[in-house]
């Protein structure tokens, strides 16, 4: 457990699932993306998360994406796999049946649509952690699930031997601070918001699971490292250069923005699956200007 946690310190990237113009998974692009992360200093990969458009992938596609990433990665970086659902019994069956070869941990978001209370969340995650054959990372993202997991619930679940941390995307620094202040030593906290990563890591969090890192892993990894080592001035400066791009990522839905940026960099096409739509021409113009400004600041 300690070895898993130490390998997940720093920048994790919630990888997009690239599609070609026919709407199929673009495996050559996925290979480029894995290499881009490894070369860019990313600490670990997160596959089948929100940014991966996982709800639009069939079960067979999900398995192929994970297997392909594991093959290309070849053990170079830890791989975390997103496995989420709002039917606890079905999710436990699914997570227990996963071939966990090469998988470092599972990322499990709070159930969407059901809106369980705190006791329901505790029971849900306890059942999932009992069923999982790899460590579980909680994922609190109330903006998507309409369900906020309180600091008290997180800390109660942190006592489970198979729960190793949380991706916190509540946007609530006070709540995150409460978790950081009282967490057990074996429990990690990752920011789930690019825009809040710098203050969250400066408060003592272990890293960031990033969207923007798909395109720009080097500066994102640098910002996390600077904040982690108390280099506040440097972290603030890096954050300031990246902030315009962070804001644009979600202007028309994630991952439309990041895929447009990655297309501009030659990493993948900008295609997404319905109900999402590709970035508009207006958003692309803003993205390209922000990318150009970032490249100027890097020199």
Query: Cis before residue 48, ω within 30 degrees of 0?
Result: no
Please report the beta strands in 83-176, taking only residues with DSSP state E, as ranges in sequence order: 105-109, 136-140, 163-168
What is the residue-wise DSSP string for 238-291? HHHHHHHHHHHTTTT-TTHHHHHHHHHTTSS-----TTS-PPPHHHHHHHHHHH
Paired residues of 81 in beta bridges: 47, 106
Selected catalytic residue, list 122, 125, 139, 284 = 139
Does the active-site annotation cover 167? Answer: yes
DSSP run (H or E) holding 128: helix 118-131
Please report the beta strands in the chain, taking only residues with DSSP state E, as ranges in sequence order: 10-14, 44-47, 79-82, 105-109, 136-140, 163-168, 188-191, 207-210
Quick check: helix, strand or coil at residue 46?
strand
End-to-end CA separation in angstroms for the chain: 41
- Residue 222: which residues within 8 A CB-CB, separation 6 or more? 41, 238
Selected catalytic residue, list 167, 259, 284, 286 = 167
**Six-digit token pair at 287?**
């993205």
CB 153 within 8 A of CB 124: no
Does the active-site annotation cover 288? Answer: no
Q: Which residues are catalytic?
A: 139, 167
């Amino acid at each position: 457990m300690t070895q898993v946690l130490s390998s997940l310190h720093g920048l994790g990237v919630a990888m997009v699932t690239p599609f070609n113009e026919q709407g199929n998974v673009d495996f050559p692009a996925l290979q480029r993306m894995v290499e881009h992360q490894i070369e860019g200093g990313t600490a670990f990969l997160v596959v089948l998360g929100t940014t991966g458009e996982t709800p639009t992938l069939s079960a067979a596609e999900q398995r192929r994406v994970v297997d392909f990433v594991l093959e290309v990665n070849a053990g170079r970086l830890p791989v975390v796999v997103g496995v989420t659902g709002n039917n606890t019994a079905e999710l436990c069956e699914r997570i227990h049946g996963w071939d966990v070869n090469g998988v470092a941990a599972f990322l499990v978001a709070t159930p969407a649509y059901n809106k369980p209370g705190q006791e329901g969340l505790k029971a849900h995650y306890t059942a999932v952690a009992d069923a999982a054959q790899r460590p579980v990372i909680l994922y609190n993202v109330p903006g998507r699930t309409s369900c906020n997991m309180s600091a008290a619930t997180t800390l109660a679940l942190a006592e489970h031997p198979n729960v190793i941390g949380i991706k916190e995307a509540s946007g609530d620094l006070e709540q995150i601070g409460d978790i950081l202040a009282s967490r057990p030593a074996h429990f990690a906290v990752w920011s789930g918001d690019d825009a809040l990563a710098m203050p969250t890591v400066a408060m003592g969090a272990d890293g960031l699971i990033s969207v923007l890192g798909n395109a720009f892993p080097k500066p994102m990894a640098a910002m996390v490292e600077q904040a982690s080592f108390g280099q506040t001035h440097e972290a603030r400066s890096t954050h300031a250069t990246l902030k315009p791009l962070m804001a644009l990522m979600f202007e028309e839905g994630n991952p439309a923005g990041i895929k447009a940026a990655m297309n501009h960099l030659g990493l993948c096409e900008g295609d997404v699956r319905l109900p999402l739509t590709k970035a508009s021409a207006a958003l692309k113009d803003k993205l390209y200007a922000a990318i150009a400004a970032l490249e100027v600041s890097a020199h």
